[in-house]
């Protein structure tokens, strides 16, 4: 499998990834889990300012990749949820963006 950080999202159509492909890709990303037809991870921070800095950085990645997550934001946490609406489930784009989101932080949260 290619390094996810070196890839970029592309317009996707067709079918979502198979369960086996999803599990194989999840094994490459610490803390991400399958949540229905999406992948998600909760990141924790020391305060609201750190949380919002992270949210803004995720927004910058999403803008650059043209692939946008659902975000649930609290004072000291943010849950990031990716899926690909155009395929009705999970695509490689979700894993590319998940890897780029993880790369924002020096250690896994």
pLDDT in tens, 4-56: 989 999 988 889 999 999 999 999 999 999 999 999 999 999 999 999 999 99
pLDDT at 100 over 80: yes
The pLDDT of residue 107 is 66
Which are the contacts of 39, defined by CB distance < 8 A and separation ≥ 6? 22, 26, 29, 32, 33, 81, 82, 83, 90, 94, 95, 98
Contacts of 94 (CB under 8 A, 6+ apart): 38, 39, 67, 82, 83, 84
Task: Report the CATH superfamily, name and number, of domain 34-109.
Answer: Transcriptional coactivator/pterin dehydratase (3.30.1360.20)
Q: Quick: pLDDT tens for 45-61.
A: 999 999 999 999 999 99
Per-residue pLDDT averaged across 75-97, rounded?
A: 96
Whether this prediction's pTM lies above 0.85 is answered by yes
Helices (H) then strands (E): counts for the chain: 3, 4
């Amino acid at each position: 499998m290619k390094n996810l950080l070196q890839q970029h999202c592309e317009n996707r159509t067709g079918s979502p990834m198979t369960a086996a492909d999803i599990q194989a890709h999840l094994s490459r990303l610490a803390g991400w889990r399958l949540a229905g037809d999406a992948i998600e991870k909760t990141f924790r921070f020391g305060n609201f300012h750190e949380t919002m800095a992270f949210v803004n950085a995720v927004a910058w990645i999403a803008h650059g990749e043209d692939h946008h997550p659902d975000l649930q934001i609290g004072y000291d946490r943010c849950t990031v949820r990716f899926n690909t609406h155009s395929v009705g489930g999970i695509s490689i784009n979700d894993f590319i963006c998940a890897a780029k989101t993880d790369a924002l932080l020096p250690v896994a949260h």
